[in-house]
Amino acid sequence: MLQRLLTPEDDLLLRELDFLITHLFISCTCRLNRLGNVLHVRIYLIPYDLANVQGKLRIRDEAAILSPARRYLKVLLQRIIQDDTSWEGDEASSSKSLKLFLPQEIVGSI
């Protein structure tokens, strides 16, 4: 159903999010705004040394998992905005006050 509502860029981002979730790089929750026309996604970064996973997150295939994950995380980290008011459904947030999670120069060096 989402495929009918998305731009190709959004579809690609959702596929990359799915990959990162499947391979335990991130976890997500989501919420619609009050009008129901904007989907906000909260991203939780999962540390590679997470307890109780017996080192599985430290040993991953470079070509099949780590390389694509780096590319996808680079794209994702450039788009994450810290804005509690948006998450709470406040439509008044202005784009001027939005704070990026990481500065672009840090993400660019990953």
Report the distance separating Cα 5 and Cα 18, nearest Å. Answer: 17
Q: Which two tokens stand for residue 85?
A: 């008011």
Burial class (CB in 10 A: 0-12, 13-18, 19+), 56: exposed
Looking at the predicted structure, is the pLDDT value of residue 2 above 60?
no
In the predicted model, what is the mean pLDDT of the chain? 80
CA distance 54 to 73: 23
What pLDDT, on a 0 to 100 scale, did the predictor assign at position 5?
61
Q: How far apart are CA 24 and CA 50, in angstroms?
A: 10
Mind listing the pLDDT tens digit for each residue in 18-42?
Answer: 999 999 999 999 888 887 777 888 9
What distance in Å separates the CA atoms of residue 17 and residue 44, rounded to the nearest whole number? 11
pLDDT at 107: 65
pLDDT attached to residue 72: 94
Tell me the mean pLDDT in the region 75-91: 78
Check: pTM over 0.75? Answer yes or no: yes
Instruction: Give the residue carrying structure tokens 């904007």.
Output: 38
CB 97, CB 40: distance < 8 Å = no
